[in-house]
Amino acid sequence: MTQKIKTDLCVIGAGSGGLSVAAGAAMLGRKVVLIEGHKMGGDCLNFGCVPSKALLAAGKTAQTFRDAQKYGIAPVNDPMIDYSAVHDHVHSVIAAIEPNDSQERFEGLGCTVIREFAKFTGPREVTAGDYVISAKHFVISTGSSPFVPPMEGLDSVPYITNETIFDRTERPSHLLIIGGGPIGVEMAQAYRRLGAEVTLLERGPMIMPKDDPELVGIVIEHLTKEGIRIETNAMVERAENSADGGVSLHGTKDGQPFSVTGSHLLVAAGRKANFENLGLEAAGVETHQRGIKVNDLMQTSNKRIYAIGDVTGGRQFTHVAGYHAGLVIQNILFKTPNLTFGLKGGKNRDHIAPWVTYTDPELAHVGLNEPLAKELNVSYTLIEWEYAENDRAQAEHATSGKLKALIGKKGKILGCSIVGKNAGDLIGPWALAVANGLKISAFTGSIMPYPTLSEISKRAAGAYYTPTLFSKKTQRIVGLLSSFD
């Protein structure tokens, strides 16, 4: 029997962004219906951020045994790795976080949780299983899923994606990875450190093409040193089952015929927004090639319907979805955008969001980098600092790394890229600076604890003033002032 529900807010998708909206609205006393047709917690908890970082942690621990000699400890070149136990570790991390995203928790907050797939049947109505929900406002937060490129024979070979790779209890002997973006690169290093042979295939001239090429080069140096085979300009055109039960890929590399065979294939060729089965036409919601069209307030072409996170086709990060969630809570419930939360008038500014690739060393970025600044014809001063000049990095043999920051007119911080140990944590203050239009003096005027990696940022900032501070002109001024002693 069909059940009709009227509510203040209907959230479609219980991933990071949707859960944040539902929790915030419920705690503010609004009636909320939360609809999820798959797993609570979405991609991040079940197939993305959480399991991948848990797997990377296992690989890093194995690598610590191999690298022990530089600390005066006898190394173990081939640590004993129980991949089934690694699988259990990954899923224990998911299980530890799962209660925060569970149906029980959100029902406890007062949400009505419906575990069905939703479809719009009108501009202010959706169906989900036996339910018909009408609401004052809707928020679409259905995320994204792995993009599987059209390729001859791919449908006849067993391949895995980030949605299936963490279910494996046996280590692949030779993992082939299509895609040199963050997912492909992180999984390449994790599986190599856990004992698999790994070949990474990237169709472009460089892996991680959105990052600073010089800093990507440092990551590549580490990956290749660990034994990962990286093939760029590799166009994979055909897949087939190999005679030994594995997978063979065929195509061209630098315009020449190319083939490679492995035991397993991971397709990490990007993401696609999940919006095709939502009945958006019935709701009057417009889309583009990458996802749902939204304005600066995260509203769709139907002003009663908002969309956030990956489904909008923008930057596909959990922290961006969370940021979008704050915007829609502010814009739907508080009406006056400047009333609360301090989110710059309630308008989307996700271009200021940082991103991190969690390789070892990590690669982090926020704002502009050199290639983008040159493309946009933005003038800047480049400041740099090497990890090797940091005492804590020396103490931990973590000297392979570098910070590069772009400083604009009047010392305004335009962007920063960091490669090295804990780069994902070090980028935080730079993200704060970019978001708030701070000047480089914000760093030079701060005191960083010694000895920490955070001093790299302080020293890089100081380097901005070095040419002026120690110039001939400054020396003459100091000399003149000293005459008054």
Consult the annotation and say whether 180 binds a ligand.
yes
DSSP percent split of the chain into helix, strand, coil, nearest 5: 40, 25, 35
Q: Are 46 and 39 in contact (CB under 8 A)?
A: yes
Consult the annotation and say whether 244 binds a ligand.
no
Consult the annotation and say whether 262 binds a ligand.
no
Q: Are 344 and 205 in contact (CB under 8 A)?
A: no
Name the token pair of 32. Answer: 């909320």
Q: Are 386 and 352 in contact (CB under 8 A)?
A: no
Q: Please spell the DSSP secondary structure of 324-347, one letter per residue.
A: HHHHHHHHHHSSSGGGSTT-GGG-
Consult the annotation and say whether 17 binds a ligand.
no
Consult the annotation and say whether 42 binds a ligand.
no
Consult the annotation and say whether 310 binds a ligand.
yes
Consult the annotation and say whether 359 binds a ligand.
no
Rounded CA gap, 186 and 59, in Å?
10
Consult the annotation and say whether 59 binds a ligand.
no
Name the token pair of 357. Answer: 């690739």
Q: How many CB atoms lie within 10 A of CB 269?
A: 23
Rounded CA gap, 39 and 22, in Å?
16
Consult the annotation and say whether 5 binds a ligand.
no
Torsion of CA 117, 123, 124, 125, to 10 degrees: -40
Q: How many CB atoms lie within 10 A of CB 223?
A: 21
DSSP helix/strand/coil, 145: strand
CA 414 to chain centre: 20
Consult the annotation and say whether 60 binds a ligand.
no
Rounded CA gap, 309 and 144, in Å?
9
Q: Can you state the angle between helices 83-97 and 49-66, rounded to 10 degrees?
A: 140
Q: Please spell the DSSP secondary structure of 239-298, one letter per residue.
A: EEE-TTSSEEEEEEETTEEEEEEESEEEE-S-EEES-TTS-HHHHT--B-SSSB---TTS
Ramachandran angles phi, psi of 50, nearest 5°: -70, -55
Consult the annotation and say whether 286 binds a ligand.
no
Consult the annotation and say whether 209 binds a ligand.
no
Consult the annotation and say whether 183 binds a ligand.
yes
Consult the annotation and say whether 184 binds a ligand.
yes
Consult the annotation and say whether 179 binds a ligand.
yes
- Binding positions are 53, 142-144, 179-186, 202, 270, 310
Annotated binding site for NAD(+): 179-186, 202, 270
Binding residue ranges for FAD: 53, 142-144, 310
